[in-house]
Amino acid sequence: MGGWYGAILVAHIVAVMSWMAGLLYLPRLFVYHCQVEPDSATAKLFTVMERKLLHAITIPAAVAAWIFGISLAAQIGLSGQVWLHAKLGLVLILTGFTVMAEKWRRGFSKGKYPGTERFFRMVNEIPAVLMILIVALVILKPF
């Protein structure tokens, strides 16, 4: 598994770790953002932090994870890889979550809180659950 495949696998894993770091931290920022007044200095600071986290780390890492992941899938092939199809389905859900996070971030940036503190505490668990399921599929290849 050396050579280009190994290098692409390393890049994919690093990209996924960076993507997940952003998705695990961002909803927590949203929780804290809900606790402050919309036009306060603290709200403005959260707005900057959320934008930088999404645009400098999370979204670029998601794009890189997709690029490297597609390259890996092309090398091993999709035929007969049911676990890989299931993983891709979960990754699509994770991508949708990333898109929703950007939508929520835009709401916060306009001073319109898109959810409650409780909502974002619950949403915070979604990326972690998806991550566990995806890793289990990759390692166990149950089907």
pTM, full prediction: 0.94
pLDDT (0 to 100) of residue 81: 87
Q: What is the pLDDT along the chain (143 residues), one digit of tens a residue?
A: 668 999 999 999 999 999 999 999 999 999 999 999 999 999 999 999 999 999 999 999 999 999 999 999 998 887 788 999 999 999 999 999 999 999 999 999 999 999 999 999 999 999 999 999 999 999 999 98
pLDDT (0 to 100) of residue 77: 82
With beta carbons less than 8 A apart as the criterion, state whether 114 and 38 touch. no
The alpha carbon of residue 108 and the mean position of all alpha carbons in its chain are separated, in whole angstroms, by 19
pLDDT (0 to 100) of residue 76: 85
CA distance 85 to 100: 23
pLDDT (0 to 100) of residue 78: 76
pLDDT (0 to 100) of residue 79: 79
CA distance 54 to 75: 30
pLDDT (0 to 100) of residue 3: 84
Q: At what angle do helices 41-52 and 3-34 cross, to 10 degrees?
A: 170
